Chains A and B, each alone.
Chain A
Amino acid sequence: MTRAGKTTLFRVLLIGPALLAITAFMIVPLGLMAYISFRGRDYSGGVLWDQFSVEAYIRLFFERQLDDTLALNFNYMLIILRSVWLSFVTMVVSLLVGLPVAMFMATRDRKWKAVLVFMVTLPFWTNLLVRNYAWILLLRDHGTINSLLLWLGVISEPLPLLHNEFAVAVGLTYSFLPFMVLPIYSSLEKIDLRLVEASFDLYATRWQTIRRVILPLAFPGIVAGCVLVFVPALGAYITPELLGGGKTLMIGNLIGFQFGGARNWPFGAALGLFLLVLVLGSLSLYARRYRGELEGSR
């Protein structure tokens, strides 16, 4: 075998496993999902494989009336909008909390940094479900927070903290905060502190230094953090289920319902695909803008 042939073979062998994994675990399942979304619905659960149908997509926006005419239906859009809104709130709060934390971490000495990073990742050692249950114990009427406030005399009736959108937002922020802190921390950590010194030498105030020097340098980390929080929050299932009290659905629960109670697999698959397109679409828009900004700053 020639040397060039050998190198090519070698490359193929090296890439092979990754390619295989991506094909088997991403492309095939996604393809299957897309395929199912265009099939007929089996009312006892499952799919009529031999039947083509776009009913699932019509259902996203329209409702079939008795005489088979279509009318606009906002129920599903409302649920999707609520998911986007809650995820956005989660992202903003995570950023407001996560940025100062990351700054604090990045400016400690080496030993402290290791400890702090460890502490941020510590919650991952416990299952998400268990951590969400913990919030139930904290937020409920006879829970830690309300008991404390009652005991202090701040309130006379327990505050309605659990089983509403507030609780969902708290739970989501808590669950995904580390995903905000870590990328920002890693980009802040790489900052050359001499730049900060230089900015002080040039009589910049602290605020100016943060705004003009640190934030631009941390920007890639902030973007990564926002994406890492927003995207999984959008598909959250456990947190709204446990902390939301089942009164309001998020898109993850809506999809779950299609495969469980409603037994409408094609529609569930279509919703999943819709969510995917939504996320990919907004990410690529974001990426385009972000790229423009990078080039502009050059």
Chain B
Amino acid sequence: MTRHNRVGRHTAKLLMASAMTLAAWSGVARAEGELHLYNWSNYFAPELLERFEQETGTKVTVDNYASEDDLLAKLQAGGGGYDVIFPGATTLGVMVEKGLLAKIEVSQMENFKNLLPAFTTIAGDENREYSAPYMWGTTGFTYDPAMVPGGKLEESWKELFEPRDELKGKIAMLNEVSDVWNAAAYYTGIDKCTEDPAEAQQILDLLMAQKPDVRLYSNDGTIDRMVAGEVAAHMQWNGAAHRVKEKKPDAVYVYPKEGTSFWTDVIAVPKDAPNLEAAKTFVNWMMSPEIAAIASNYTGYSNAVSGSGEFLREDLKADPAVNTPEDYNDRLRAFKACSPASKDLREKVWTKLKS
């Protein structure tokens, strides 16, 4: 879901991707010795396509999808002839459950040992039988020191949910139910998969009290808004925070101490992939440090391969928003698949907040 919105910020890009998806339908004939990737647009380094071909002799092509729902629908309809896909954690869970993925035993692969410990397992694919991590990122908030009293904010969600008077009306939230809900749950100390209406009410009360002080809820233009100084603090994805800092080097990205969600996109192989062996080679290859670094340098997001740091672009390496400092590791909270009852509560809270 998070992936969806990161791309959603660029609706034009999304439209382009749909056009490309349409175009993909026409390419039915699949030659042997080829590897077909299916991914978000602008989410895979072209350099790696050539490199894989040079190293293995397998030609690689990429098609783009506009949303994970497209990806899921296409796989359910019978594959579409793709060998490697890049779903988010939510979609991964659904795919495993519906038996759409090939059991490629990632944990047995040679390069699996390179993974950061936190990524050797994931909700929905606990033993890493189906998927390897691709990119990951966090949802925290960014602030502009010049616009806050004393030039410093606490590393806490408090600054957003119960803003000090000087910040009232100068904060912006993401317009994303799961991100806002999770943050509010961390702040109130409630389990984010709660099924208790009383706890949901507590979260709603917090958000309703915050609402008058929120300038806007939006996933669009979060970077511009910070750069233009329209808001002092903005709930934000770390990739966007990095791009704010490119234009406003003083800006600070906060990993709130109560808990900071992180999302993961994975690399997986559809059950009926035409070129299964090459796909396995590819997944293993993607877990090598230099390759993962090239992927990150292109997307601007972190990878999960240790030792990739030395190959990273200097500006990414130097930015704590992207290159998460180790002492923040205990603040990171993984994705959890919540029950329908819990999702229902979350949706009710969101609708009440917006009605």
Which residues of B sit under 8 angstroms from A140, Cβ to Cβ?
A: 228, 230
Assess whether A129 is in contact with B11, with CB atoms less than 8 Å apart.
Answer: yes
Other-chain contact of A261, B97, B221, B229, B350 (Cβ < 8 Å): B350
Which residues of B sit under 8 angstroms from A242, Cβ to Cβ?
A: 220
Which residues of B sit under 8 angstroms from A262, Cβ to Cβ?
A: 177, 343, 347, 350
Which residues of B sit under 8 angstroms from A142, Cβ to Cβ?
A: 228-230
Assess whether A79 is in contact with B4, with CB atoms less than 8 Å apart.
Answer: no
Residues A246 and B229 in contact in the complex (CB < 8 Å), given A76-B351, A79-B355, A260-B4: no
Q: List the B residue with the shortest CB-CB distance to A44.
A: B94
Other-chain contact of B354, A63, A136, A249 (Cβ < 8 Å): A249
Assess whether A261 is in contact with B217, with CB atoms less than 8 Å apart.
Answer: no
Interface assignment of A37: CB less than 8 Å from any CB of chain B: no
Interface assignment of A75: CB less than 8 Å from any CB of chain B: yes
Residues A246 and B347 in contact in the complex (CB < 8 Å), given A79-B355, A140-B230, A261-B1: no
Assign chain A's interface to a size class: 20 to 34
Which residues of A sit under 8 angstroms from B216, Cβ to Cβ?
A: 163, 245-247
Total residue contacts A-B, CB cutoff 8 A = 69
Taking Cβ atoms with an 8 Å cutoff, the residues of B that contact A are 1, 4, 11-12, 69, 72, 90, 93-94, 97, 175-178, 197, 211, 214-218, 220-221, 228-230, 340, 343, 347-348, 350-352, 354-355
Q: List the A residue with the shortest CB-CB distance to B174.
A: A246
Given contacts A63-B348, A79-B355, A129-B11, 5 further A-B contacts (CB under 8 A): A45-B94, A75-B351, A140-B228, A140-B230, A262-B350
Assess whether A43 is in contact with B343, with CB atoms less than 8 Å apart.
Answer: yes
Which residues of A sit under 8 angstroms from B90, Cβ to Cβ?
A: 44
Q: List the A residue with the shortest CB-CB distance to B169.
A: A160
Which residues of B sit under 8 angstroms from A45, Cβ to Cβ?
A: 69, 72, 94
Interface assignment of A175: CB less than 8 Å from any CB of chain B: no
A74 to B178, CA, bound (A): 23
Most buried by B among A66, A79, A260: A260
Assess whether B230 is in contact with A141, with CB atoms less than 8 Å apart.
Answer: yes
Q: Would you list 17 pairs from A and B whose C-beta atoms are within 8 A, ordered by A residue?
A: A66-B197, A75-B355, A76-B355, A79-B351, A129-B12, A136-B221, A163-B215, A242-B220, A245-B215, A246-B175, A246-B216, A247-B217, A249-B355, A254-B351, A257-B177, A261-B178, A262-B350
Render A125-143 as a binary contact track against B, CB cut-off 8 A, 1 for contact: 0000100000010001110
A261 to B4, CA, bound (A): 10
Assess whether B228 is in contact with A248, with CB atoms less than 8 Å apart.
Answer: no
Most buried by A among B90, B178, B216, B220: B216
Residues A78 and B175 in contact in the complex (CB < 8 Å), given A45-B69, A163-B216, A247-B211: no
Assess whether A245 is in contact with B217, with CB atoms less than 8 Å apart.
Answer: yes
A143 to B4, CA, bound (A): 29
Assess whether B218 is in contact with A246, with CB atoms less than 8 Å apart.
Answer: yes
Which residues of B sit under 8 angstroms from A239, Cβ to Cβ?
A: none
Interface assignment of A264: CB less than 8 Å from any CB of chain B: yes
A247 to B218, CA, bound (A): 9
Which residues of B sit under 8 angstroms from A74, Cβ to Cβ?
A: 355
Assess whether A246 is in contact with B217, with CB atoms less than 8 Å apart.
Answer: yes
Q: List the A residue with the shortest CB-CB distance to B343.
A: A43
Assess whether A245 is in contact with B197, with CB atoms less than 8 Å apart.
Answer: no
Q: List the B residue with the shortest CB-CB distance to A77.
A: B355
Which residues of A sit under 8 angstroms from B220, Cβ to Cβ?
A: 242
Which residues of A sit under 8 angstroms from B197, Cβ to Cβ?
A: 66
A3 to B229, CA, bound (A): 77
Render A245-270 as a binary contact track against B, CB cut-off 8 A, 1 for contact: 11111000010010011111000000
Which residues of A sit under 8 angstroms from B175, Cβ to Cβ?
A: 246
CB within 8 Å of B: which of A258-297? 260-264
A129 to B355, CA, bound (A): 24
Assess whether B214 is in contact with A261, with CB atoms less than 8 Å apart.
Answer: no
